A = this chain, B = another copy of it.
């Protein structure tokens, strides 16, 4: 994997770039849809390509439990297994272990003991194990195993956690064996400037193929803290490596992240809200459970180029959503992913034209704040 920085915007830290992988090239900034269990829920790879998705994410934790990395390796890796020949990034499993696993987890130096969210089975995930699984999955980009403490964890806890995450990153790097696969380091440290600086500098010293900013999608994290986390990390990351803000998908947050120098993002938001009947629009999210769309024979957005907007009315989408038809979630997923990918295209254009701050202003004027 190779990252090429093409341009930095004049009035911000926003960057235009290009990522070259064995499975294709994509431009940054880019949004990654999440294919949790080796499928972006309800969609085919062909549909993702039609939406111009440059890269997708798959979850190591879920694939570890089912169907297991050995099976996927036997299938010829994740690309062959899920019939997707574009770039794939896998997370480390850390976030899921900390957020999904049942009951309490036991964080020790070796790794994390926890119970499977499926059957309560006691499991241990370590930095080495995470990398071993990702090596077998054969994704294009693997992530280091990190601790994801809650926003409520105090300074002292976070300081220890940042140090442990550095030791874990070192251990993971040592066992990383898949030469076709890039490995990213993760910057942690909450909203504390000195911790973020320390975490970023030490992680960069180890020399990874790219860098993530973690700990911004945890329970209870405020918008303000998220922006701080980015601002406190970015200055210490090298210009010639890609930067990835983990777990963020709100349109305003994506714009703010890009302005602050982030290149790639992932989030379940567009597909999750789709299944709950919500769609992004330029004037904010709309909810198809709302009766006002009952006789609305216009598309979600008149000027959207997605398959859903070109062919279906809000009235039909509302019918599918309220009668719990699978096609509803599928069609809204197509629109919502395309909305975020298109947003990224517009941000790339704004970077090219050095107009990203004006773009943000105009976008927020119509969309409202991210709390809407």
Q: Mark A91-109, 1 if CB is under 8 A from B, else 0.
A: 0000000000000000000
Q: How far is the CB of A113 from chain B (nearest CB, A)?
A: 24
Across the interface, name the chain B residue whose C-beta is closest to A319.
B67
Residues of A16-50 at the interface with B, using a CB-CB cut-off of 8 Å, are: 37-39, 41-44
Q: Mark A299-322, 1 if CB is under 8 A from B, else 0.
A: 000000000000111011011101
Whether A66 is near chain B, meaning CB under 8 Å from some CB there, is yes
A326 touching B71 in the complex, CB below 8 Å, given contacts A83-B311, A316-B82: no
- The answer on a CB contact under 8 Å between A42 and B323 is no
Determine how many copies of this chain the complex contains.
2
A83 touching B330 in the complex, CB below 8 Å, given contacts A66-B322, A294-B71: no
What's the tally of chain A residues with a CB closer than 8 Å to chain B? 33
- The answer on a CB contact under 8 Å between B295 and A74 is yes
Residues of A315-372 at the interface with B, using a CB-CB cut-off of 8 Å, are: 315-316, 318-320, 322-323, 325-327, 329-330
Whether A157 is near chain B, meaning CB under 8 Å from some CB there, is no
- The answer on a CB contact under 8 Å between B315 and A81 is yes
Q: How far is the CB of A130 from chain B (nearest CB, A)?
A: 20
Whether A297 is near chain B, meaning CB under 8 Å from some CB there, is yes
- The answer on a CB contact under 8 Å between A42 and B319 is no
Across the interface, name the chain B residue whose C-beta is closest to A70.
B295
* Complexed CA–CA distance, A362 and B312 (Å): 44
Whether A153 is near chain B, meaning CB under 8 Å from some CB there, is no
* Complexed CA–CA distance, A319 and B67 (Å): 6
* Complexed CA–CA distance, A81 and B312 (Å): 8
A326 touching B326 in the complex, CB below 8 Å, given contacts A83-B316, A297-B75, A315-B67: yes
Q: Which of B43, B295, B320 contacts A39 (CB 8 A)?
A: B320
11 A-B residue pairs with Cβ-Cβ distance under 8 Å, sorted by A, are: A37-B320, A37-B325, A42-B327, A67-B294, A74-B297, A75-B316, A81-B316, A81-B319, A326-B326, A326-B329, A326-B330
